[in-house]
Amino acid sequence: MSSVKVSVIMPVYKVEEYVGKAIESIQQQTLTEWELWAVDDGSPDKSGEICDAYAAKDPRIHVIHKENGGAPSARNMAMERAQGEYMFFMDSDDWAEATMLAEMYALAKRDQAQLVVAGFYIDTYYTEQEYRTDDFVTEDAVYPDAQSFRKASYKLFDKNLLYTPWNKLYESRYLKEHDLKFPKTFWDDFPFNLSVVDEIERVTVTSRQYYHFIRKRAESETAAYRPNMYEKREEEHGWLLALYKKWGIQDEATQEMLARRYIERFIGCVENLTNPSCTLSVRQKKQEIHKMLQNPRVRRCLHKARPHSIYMKCMLIPIRLRSVQLLYWECKFISFVKTRDTKLFSKLKAGR
C-alpha cells in the first residue's frame, strides 16, 4: 500500500519565472507524505530544466518530459502514474500556503470524502509589487450523500468554487473507478469537474483559503480574441442544464444561479468580439452581436436572473433593450478598461 497521501500533479509550459515558487510551496507543506508530478509539456524555455534541478534534490519530485500536447494530456499522463490516496492539481505559475495539503487531507479522512473543496485567492498584479487580492470562499459544509450535495451545489457554482481543479482534493480511487480524465478541449477544467460531481456522494467544503491563483503575465488578464468563445460558452451552459436535469434539481435558487451565470458570460462573449485582437470589421462584429441577441436563452435568462449589484443591473440594460449599438459600445468600453487598466478592471469584475 502506498505511503503517499497526496499526489500533486502540475503541467509545466513556458513558466520559467514562476515554476520554482510553485514547487517550493509544495516542498514547504506541513504534510510531508506527498509526491509531485511535474509534466514538462514540451516547454521551449528552461521550465523543464528547472523542474529537473528540484527533482535531483528531492526524491518526492518526479519529472516527465513529453511533446507538447496541452495541459489535459499532461495531467492525464501524470494521473496514470500517481500513487497517492488523493490527487491535487496545481498550475505551475501559482503557489499554495503551507498548511493546505495537511488540512485538506485531514478533512478528507475525517469525512471519508471523495472530494474536498476549499476557498482560494486570486492575486491580480498591476506591477511587480502592487496587487489586488479577491477572496473566493463559502461556509464550511459536509455533504454526506449525493442528494444533499446536489441541492446545495448551486451555492458552490455561484461562488466559483466548482469550476477549477486547483482548490480541490480528489479521492484517487473515485477518479480511477469512474475512469475520469481531463478531456482534450479548450477550458478542460470545467467539463472535468462536471464529470467528477456527476455521481459524487461525499463532499466536504471548507471556508479556509489556501491556493493563490496569480494573474501576472499579460495573457492571464488581457486574453486574446477567441473565435469560438460564444459557441463554447453555449456548450458549457448546455452541460450544466443537462446535469441539473439528470439530478432532478429544478428549484428556483438553482434556476436563478444558472440564468445569472449565463448572462454574465454572455456579456463576456460580446466583449470577446470587441477585444482589440479581434480582426472582424465593426459591421461583422455588430452582425454577430445581433445573432447572439436573438438566442431564446437570452430572454429566458434575463427573466430569471437577479443581479447582485447596481453595476451589473446597468450592464444588462442594453441586453434588455436588445440594442446592438448600446451593447457594442458597452463592451468596447469594457475591452478598453481591460487592456489599459488592469487594476480598475479587476475591481469592477469583483464587484459584479
pLDDT (tens, 9 = 90+) of the chain, 352 residues, equals 469 999 999 999 999 999 999 999 999 999 999 999 999 999 999 999 999 999 999 999 999 999 999 999 999 999 999 999 999 999 999 999 999 999 999 999 999 999 999 999 999 888 888 888 999 999 999 999 999 999 999 999 999 999 999 999 999 999 999 999 999 988 899 999 999 999 999 999 999 999 999 987 444 444 578 889 999 999 999 999 999 999 999 999 999 999 999 999 999 999 999 999 999 999 999 999 999 999 999 999 999 999 988 989 999 999 999 999 999 999 999 999 888 777 777 777 766 6
85 in Cβ contact with 171 (< 8 Å)? yes
Phi, psi of 269 (to 5 degrees): -70, -35
pLDDT for 349: 73
Q: Alpha-carbon distance 301 to 298, whole Å?
A: 5
SS3 of residue 336 by DSSP: helix
- C-alpha 64 chain-centroid distance: 24
For the entire predicted model, the pTM comes to: 0.93
Q: Alpha-carbon distance 16 to 196, whole Å?
A: 31
Q: Alpha-carbon distance 52 to 311, whole Å?
A: 48
Question: pLDDT digit string (tens) for 265-309?
Answer: 999 999 999 999 999 999 999 999 999 999 999 999 999 999 988
Stated as kind and residue range, the H or E segment containing 296 is: helix 296-304
Stated as kind and residue range, the H or E segment containing 116 is: strand 115-125
127, amino acid identity: T
- Listing DSSP states for 54-99 in one string gives HHHH-TTEEEEEE----HHHHHHHHHHH--SSEEEE--TT-EE-TT
Q: Alpha-carbon distance 172 to 191, whole Å?
A: 18
Report the b/e string of 70-84 with b at 16+ CB within 10 A. Answer: bbbbbbbbbbeebeb
- Listing DSSP states for 148-168 in one string gives HHHHHHHHHHHTT-SS-STTE
pLDDT for 317: 97
pLDDT for 187: 87
What the chain holds in terms of domains, given with CATH numbers, is: 6-220 (3.90.550.10), 224-350 (no CATH)
Nine-digit cell string for 51: 523542474
Task: Give the bridge partners for 213, in sequence order.
Answer: 122
The beta-carbon contacts of 314-317 under 8 Å, at least 24 apart in sequence, are 315/267, 315/352, 316/263
Q: Alpha-carbon distance 76 to 9, whole Å?
A: 9
Nine-digit cell string for 232: 463554447
CB within 8 A of 21, min separation 6: which ones? Answer: 95
Closest CA to 202 of 119, 146, 162: 146
Task: Give the bridge partners for 142, in sequence order.
Answer: 204
Any idea what DSSP says for residue 284?
Answer: H
